Structure 1
Amino acid sequence: MPMRLDELDKRILRALQHNGRLQNVELAKEVGLSPSPCLRRVRLLEEAGIIDRYVAVLNPVKVGLPLSMFARIWLTAQDAETIDHFMEAMKKLPQVMECYIMLGESDALLRVVVSDLDDYRHFQSTHLTKINGIQNVKTDIPSQIVKQTYALPLR
């Protein structure tokens, strides 16, 4: 059962989603608390697992990985062993940024980051087509990023 968040918790979370490097004094000022109760609330949010971790969001273009490709995967079967094998294989591939087991037409959806189309072709031929259990891969190439956010819409 999710922890019940009050408006102060939500203000803290919104601020940290916008800037995870905020010092406690700055965060407290932004959300209208004194530093000690603000720090106590942040620690409670961390202990409850609501704040999962803190990360740096990198600019993919500046680190040489400007392309995100979306690969729809069809597996040879939907039994637990095939799915488990596929999931474990995806966890080991650093190019796979996101992996979802799907309900619908395809069995899985991947977001893969690469430097260019040749890099993706190499990734697909050396990794995706070599994994037992993958029957078919169809790749979609986005032409433009309209919106990309990591902040959850807290109401």
Structure 2
Amino acid sequence: MIDLDSIDRRILSALQADGRLSIVRLAERVHLTKTPCAERVKRLERLGYISGYRAVLDPDLLEANYISFVQVLLERTTTDILDRFNDAVRRIPEIQSCHMIGGGFDYLLKVRTRDVAHYRALLGDTLSLLPGVQQTHTYMVMEAIKDDPTLPVPV
């Protein structure tokens, strides 16, 4: 890990806001010339600060606007069951995120489906059959107030 200077941080913020910025436009925004800006971007990529570029898709247009959070309690938390659960979760496209939790349950899933019927089918046919699952609790999202995928970049 290296110390990022203010220009590196401005580059990260600008690219996070718009990953399609050309090097010329990015250089203008961070007050550098094209070559040093390109070199900094390559360095930030090489060091892993930038791990990829992607488009942000509209969940309404792709019929994935129904959000549920699912608490998952496993029967046991042995390494084998945890590994099998983790591997299975990675293969389910409707699971947008999966977090191992310390507390009263083992995992918290963020699931996106078309509607409640789609979610119900996913729960019965897939989620409840994941390796080691003992119990699930589902919380339906009524309204997403903030769902921002960006990271705070320290100034």
TM range (shorter): over 0.9
Length-normalised TM-score, structure 1: 0.97
User: Is contact 2:88-2:131 (8 Å) kept?
Assistant: no
> Equivalents in 2 of 1:103, 1:10: separation in Å?
32
User: Is contact 1:70-1:139 (8 Å) kept?
Assistant: yes
State how 1:5-154 maps to structure 2 within 5 Å.
5-154=4-153
Deviation at 1:78, TM superposition (A): 1.0
> Equivalents in 1 of 2:4, 2:114: separation in Å?
41
What runs of 5+ residues in structure 1 fail to find an aligned partner?
none
Q: Secondary structure at the match of 2:134?
A: strand
User: Is contact 1:66-1:115 (8 Å) kept?
Assistant: yes
Q: Secondary structure at the match of 1:71?
A: strand
Q: What do the CA deviations read for 1:6-53 (whole angstroms, capped 9, x no partner)?
A: 100000000001000000000000010001000000000000111010
> Equivalents in 1 of 2:100, 2:131: separation in Å?
16
> Equivalents in 1 of 2:5, 2:73: separation in Å?
42
User: Is contact 2:66-2:113 (8 Å) kept?
Assistant: yes
> Equivalents in 2 of 1:151, 1:85: separation in Å?
29
Q: Secondary structure at the match of 1:100?
A: strand
Letter in 1 for 2:99: Y
> Equivalents in 2 of 1:112, 1:4: separation in Å?
36
Q: How many residues align?
A: 154
Length-normalised TM-score, structure 2: 0.97
Letter in 2 for 1:136: Q
Deviation at 1:3, TM superposition (A): 2.5
User: Is contact 2:70-2:137 (8 Å) kept?
Assistant: yes
Q: Secondary structure at the match of 1:37?
A: helix
What runs of 5+ residues in structure 2 fail to find an aligned partner?
none
